[in-house]
Amino acid sequence: MTKLSKMPRDKRVLVQGQSGTGKTTIIGTLCKLVPTLLITSDKEGLETLATMGIDPEVIYMDDWMKCWDYYTEIVKAVPNFKAIALDDFGATQITARQKIERMPRGYKEEQDRDFKTTVRRELMRGERAMEMRDWGKMWVALENFLSAVLALPPTIKLVTVLESPGKDPRTDELRLYPNLQGAIRHSLPARFSLVAEAFLTEHKEVLYYCLSSKPHPRVATKDRYGKGRTWVDPNMANILAYLNGKGGEENEVEKAIGTGL
């Protein structure tokens, strides 16, 4: 048996938000703070880091069927890093879906000389829907991959994901959820201690990049460290200070923006 105070405590942060709200920029601030291993399936997101002058070590996932190979590569790499960042987990799921959609579905398609053209035409017509068994395989593979990555030694884990509207299963009201398919859409936030929304807002005619972990009726935020707070121009140095019980006071702009949420 181990005392709770003796157990290592991960700093797991999930940042969700619309495109262009600064999610990858927050990862950039982590890369500047400590050696960070970046995992991504979104090459476009890497442009943001390049504009910040950051050139991190990257494991690029472009084939969900190689999840074990990627995990093995990550395990070998982690001794050199203090943090792991997974940029846009939804993009990883999309990459997996596209891989499945382009796979042959039986002997007839395997023998089709124009297979790629046929698949492309069906995809553009919306005629090549994934079968439920394929969805199931993908959900299981990626959920287990994420669980394994979150269990690795680096104590700082930062994951970003796009958000999308969906109906609350109990109230039928529209809420913002991680833009994912399957049960992981609802179970993902449970694996993190801080779940915050990235957003843009205007205050006194000035546009601010913001992050908030305050309770909100339409966003699945969570804060195991307090009642939630709002950050303006968020960076991981301030966020980690807050998670360690320091630097939790909001400035006047943050208070004003947080009050209007």
Whole-number pLDDT of residue 260: 75
- d(Cα 95, Cα 84) in Å, to the nearest integer? 20
Region 168-181 average pLDDT: 88
- Give pTM, 2 decimals: 0.90
Across the chain, what does the average pLDDT equal? Answer: 89
Whole-number pLDDT of residue 123: 61
Does 173 fall in a domain? yes
- d(Cα 258, Cα 253) in Å, to the nearest integer? 8
Tokens linked to 118? 């046929």
Residues spanned by the domain of 17: 6-259
| CA distances to 141, 212, 253, 256 from 148, in Å | 11, 27, 39, 40
Does 163 fall in a domain? yes
**Which of 185 and 153 is assigned the larger pLDDT?**
153
Does 181 fall in a domain? yes
* Residue positions counted in the chain: 261
> Which amino acid appears at position 205 of this protein?
E
- d(Cα 177, Cα 120) in Å, to the nearest integer? 30
pLDDT digits (tens, 9 = 90+) for 164-173: 998 888 888 9
CATH of the domain at 118: 3.40.50.300
Does the pLDDT value for residue 33 go beyond 70?
Answer: yes
Does 236 fall in a domain? yes
Confidence of residue 97 (pLDDT cuts 50, 70, 90): confident
Does 164 fall in a domain? yes
Does the pLDDT value for residue 84 go beyond 70?
Answer: yes
Region 98-125 average pLDDT: 75
Does 1 fall in a domain? no
- d(Cα 220, Cα 16) in Å, to the nearest integer? 9
Closest CA to 197 of 241, 160, 225: 160
The number of domains in the chain is 1
SS3 string, the chain, reads CCCHHHCCCCEEEEEEECCCCCHHHHHHHHHHHCCEEEEECCHHHHHHHHHCCCCCEEEECCCHHHHHHHHHHHHHHHHHCCEEEEECHHHHHHHHHHHHHCCCCCHHHHCCCCHHHHHHHHHHHCCCCCCHHHHHHHHHHHHHHHHHHHCCCCCEEEEEEEEEEEECCCCCCEEEEECCCCCHHHHHHHHCCEEEEEEEEEECCEEEEEEECCCECCECCEECCCCCCEEECCCHHHHHHHHCCCCCCCCHHHHHHHHCC
Region 189-209 average pLDDT: 95
pLDDT digits (tens, 9 = 90+) for 112-163: 888 878 867 876 787 777 777 777 787 888 889 999 999 999 999 999 999 9
pLDDT digits (tens, 9 = 90+) for 61-78: 988 778 889 999 999 999
Does 255 fall in a domain? yes
Q: Is 88 exposed, middle or buried (0-12, 13-18, 19+ CB in 10 A)?
A: buried
Does the pLDDT value for residue 242 go beyond 80?
Answer: yes
Whether the CB-CB separation of 254 and 230 falls below 8 Å is answered with: yes
Does 30 fall in a domain? yes
